[in-house]
Amino acid sequence: MGDRKSEESPFISSKKPVTLNPSWESQLQSDTNGKGSGSVMSKIVASLQPPIDKHKLVFFIFILHGLGTLMPWNMFITAKAYFEDFKLSENYTGPTETNYRGNFMQNMGFASQIPNVLFNWINIFMSFGGDLTTRIVYSILIEIVILIITVVLAMLDSSEWPGVFFWATMCSIVLINMCNGIYQSTIYGLVASLPPKYTGAVVLGSNVSGCFATIMSMLCATFFSSMRTSAIYYFVTAILVLLFCFDTYFALPLNKFFRHYEMISKHSEKSSGSKTELNVPYWQIFKKASPQLFNVFFTFFVTLSVFPAVHSDIKRSDDFVIGEKYFTLMTCFLTFNVFAMLGSLTTSWVQWPKPKYLVVPVVLRVVFIPLLIFCNYAPKDIVRTLPVFITNEWVYWIIAIIMSFSSGYLSSLGMMYAPQTVHAKYQVTAGMFAAAVLVSGIFAGVMFSYLSPLIIQL
């Protein structure tokens, strides 16, 4: 009965909303006087036997939030056919002065990644909207509103105003990725105070996101003959996922396992004095975590250098077992997302190599850039002069599987190791740095992919 009262008292005795620090933990913090007792309390809390993550509830919640952090990017790139072959096609709009679909994917890459990178980095040094809860909640809500606007645009007949539709879509992508930059950075900062495998859960969720978007795209295209209807249900699904993220976030402060590690983090900060937040040694944290930050950056740089830009433009031969209609969907999008997800999942049981040697396989992955270019890479409207060195589709598929699995596995390890390289009181900041270099690696890889069409014309 005593335990029950202690858990119910925040709702009975206080009119304040649920926060990440339930009242009895907050009272423990207030008992510290800033003269060493905070350090003692931190050691006492840390020495306690941590509660069990019953039914792995917290683990699955962070998988869900990992899915939510990359949901906007995956939903928009997977809807390529909806934008290019329907809303912006000449069959729908008629001849137009501007070819809006010609560089749509490139424009979407700029519109999405620049604000994502910018706000991931700014979120480390500035508190947009205050504490972690406020940042996450408002980011998710704004993303939901923008997706609702996207659904409304799908419902409307935009054939008479393709330019307005194009720029409205670009503005939506910019805004949704500004919010997503804050959301993603904050989630990685929040999970950094938990055991490393929970950071791996967020990375796993981000890889599940791509698989989820691909499967939903296939299902919507199968069940609905109209591209308009398919797109509406497709984007509505993204809204539902973000609503689940919003709802489950408020379950975290009620979980004993999460509260235990949150208390350790808070008391560790308290033990360093009242000016901790004002004097965060950002450069020292970055320098200390830099080996793992490089691993995260370079893994995503190599991956995005070839996926989806090169990977999705590799063509099949006439006698391959998978037909042309499903070749790219199966060997590119589904293969990458499934095996990247399996790679992330593997880190829950195996963490090898150790932090010191992780850089070796990370750097060796650069070989996948020339290997996939040597396959039958043939982008539209480009005449390839470079010979095709890898003509066997099975060899190409094996290369794609290894690239995908290693991307999920090594990126997850890097994200798990990064917060562990610094003191516990700085793990949140280290986690945010890791998220920032993650999206920086994505952006750098996307920019590098523009060189691939030039390489095959040499």
Question: Is there a domain that residue 37 lies in?
Answer: no
- pLDDT at position 458, please? 82
- Answer yes or no: are the C-beta atoms of 417 and 433 closer than 8 Å: no
Q: Which amino acid is at 285?
A: I
Question: Is there a domain that residue 30 lies in?
Answer: no
Q: How many domains does the chain have?
A: 2
Residues 321 and 432 grouped into a single domain: yes
Residues 285 and 261 grouped into a single domain: no
The pLDDT of 365-373, averaged and rounded, is: 97
Residues 232 and 299 grouped into a single domain: no
Q: What are phi and psi of 162, to 5 degrees?
A: -60, -35
Q: Does residue 14 register a pLDDT over 70?
A: no
- pTM score > 0.85 for this model? no
* Residue that is last in its domain, among 209, 241, 271: 271
- The pair of structure tokens assigned to 434 is 């890791």
Question: Is there a domain that residue 76 lies in?
Answer: yes
Q: Does residue 272 register a pLDDT over 60?
A: no
The residues, any chain, with a CB within 8 Å of residue 276's CB and separated by 6 or more, are 269, 270, 425
In this structure, of 91-105, 245-259, 282-296, the range with the lowest mean pLDDT score is 91-105
Q: Mean pLDDT for the chain?
A: 84
User: What digits encode the pLDDT tens for the residues 291-323?
Assistant: 999 999 999 999 999 988 899 889 998 788 988
Residues 323 and 353 grouped into a single domain: yes
* Residue that is last in its domain, among 215, 249, 271: 271
Question: Is there a domain that residue 15 lies in?
Answer: no
Question: Is there a domain that residue 410 lies in?
Answer: yes
Q: What is the CATH number of the domain that holds 349?
A: 1.20.1250
- Residue-wise over 269-305: b if at least 16 C-beta within 10 A, else e? bbbbeeeeeeebeeeebbebbebbbbbbbbbbbbbbb
Residue corresponding to tokens 């000016």: 275
Residues 448 and 372 grouped into a single domain: yes
CA distance 143 to 155: 19
Question: Is there a domain that residue 1 lies in?
Answer: no
- pLDDT at position 200, please? 87
More confident residue, 405 or 108: 405
Question: Is there a domain that residue 29 lies in?
Answer: no
- pLDDT at position 40, please? 54
Q: Does residue 123 register a pLDDT over 70?
A: yes
- pLDDT at position 348, please? 86
Residues 267 and 285 grouped into a single domain: no
Residue corresponding to tokens 């235990």: 260
User: What digits encode the pLDDT tens for the residues 21-52?
Assistant: 433 344 444 444 444 444 555 555 555 677 88
Range of the domain at 315: 281-458
Question: Is there a domain that residue 16 lies in?
Answer: no
In this structure, of 14-18, 52-56, 94-98, 198-202, the range with the lowest mean pLDDT score is 14-18
- Residue-wise over 234-254: b if at least 16 C-beta within 10 A, else e? bbbbbbebbeebbebbeebbe
The pLDDT of 74-84, averaged and rounded, is: 84
Concatenate the DSSP letters of all residues of 348-392 into one string.
TT---S-GGGTHHHHHHGGGHHHHHHTTTB--TT----S------
Query: Please, which residues bridge with residue 144 across strands?
Result: none
User: What digits encode the pLDDT tens for the residues 184-239?
Assistant: 889 998 898 899 889 989 988 988 888 888 888 888 888 888 889 999 999 999 99
Residues 306 and 239 grouped into a single domain: no
Query: Please, which residues bridge with residue 377 across strands?
Result: 314
The residues, any chain, with a CB within 8 Å of residue 179's CB and separated by 6 or more, are 119, 138, 139, 140, 142, 143, 146
Residues 245 and 294 grouped into a single domain: no
pLDDT-above-70 percentage for the chain: 86
- pLDDT at position 127, please? 62
Residues 357 and 212 grouped into a single domain: no
The 8-class DSSP code of residue 330 comes to I
User: What digits encode the pLDDT tens for the residues 140-168?
Assistant: 999 999 999 999 999 999 999 999 999 99
* Residue that is last in its domain, among 237, 271, 305: 271
- pLDDT at position 45, please? 54
- pLDDT at position 146, please? 95
- pLDDT at position 409, please? 96
CA distance 409 to 156: 42
- pLDDT at position 269, please? 65
Please tell me the total number of residues recorded for the chain in this structure.
458
CA distance 300 to 441: 5
Residues 290 and 244 grouped into a single domain: no
Residues 90 and 234 grouped into a single domain: yes
Q: Does residue 445 register a pLDDT over 80?
A: yes
Q: What is the CATH number of the domain that holds 78?
A: 1.20.1250.20
Q: What are phi and psi of 314, to 5 degrees?
A: -85, 125
CA-closest candidate to residue 99, choices 110, 83, 85, 88: 88
Residues 342 and 376 grouped into a single domain: yes
